[in-house]
Amino acid sequence: MKRAAFRLQPVLELRRSEERAAAAAAAAAAKAAGEAARRATEQEAALAGAVLPPSLPAGSFVAAMVLLRTAATDAADARALATAQAEQAEAVRAEWTAAARRTKGLERLAERHRLAQQHAADAAEERATDDLVTGRASRGTGTDDTGTAWTG
């Protein structure tokens, strides 16, 4: 008996590939977001530990303040970047979740198809057995080559 092919198999394989790609993208985005958060935290910690000496000439004081202001701006930019990358990672993770749902739906269809094929094969086997048994019963009683009576 020829088995019917699951017509959506190529689509299922495509969905699985999409899911794997989305998972890889989610992992990369999460890693990038973690690195950005780590860098921002390091910059903030370095800025928090910055202390000006008690007495500085006016020019050095202004230069130190400009340097601290620049460092604070850099730390704020790093934190904003970390936040943006975390949001991007969340969006990519949502895409991965959606891809997984689509794949799961097709996998359920494939499983239903497999169960239907198994049911059809079982039914065909049962019909063949019934036909065999029914065929013997319809032939009635007979004798074999030795003359011994038998019933079908």
In a domain, 127, yes or no: no
**32: exposed, middle or buried (Cβ count in 10 Å: 0-12, 13-18, 19+):** middle
Q: Which of 43, 24, 32 is nearest to 83 (CA)?
A: 32
In a domain, 17, yes or no: yes
- Predicted confidence at residue 17, as pLDDT, reads 95
- Predicted confidence at residue 151, as pLDDT, reads 56
**Phi, psi angles (nearest 5°) of residue 46:** -65, -40
In a domain, 120, yes or no: no
**Structural domain boundaries enclosing 91:** 9-105
Supply the pTM of this predicted model: 0.65
In a domain, 150, yes or no: no
Contact 73, 80 (CB under 8 A): no
In a domain, 119, yes or no: no
Domain count of the chain? 1
Tokens of 2: 């020829």
pLDDT (tens digit per residue) in 3-44? 667 788 888 899 999 999 999 999 999 999 999 999 999 999
- Predicted confidence at residue 137, as pLDDT, reads 66
In a domain, 53, yes or no: yes
In a domain, 58, yes or no: yes
CA 103, 108, 113, 117 torsion-angle sign:
positive
58/148 Cα distance (integer angstroms): 128
In a domain, 32, yes or no: yes
Place of tokens 């460092």: 71
Q: Following CA atoms 16, 18, 23, 29 in sequence, which dihedral angle do they give, to the nearest 10 degrees?
A: 180
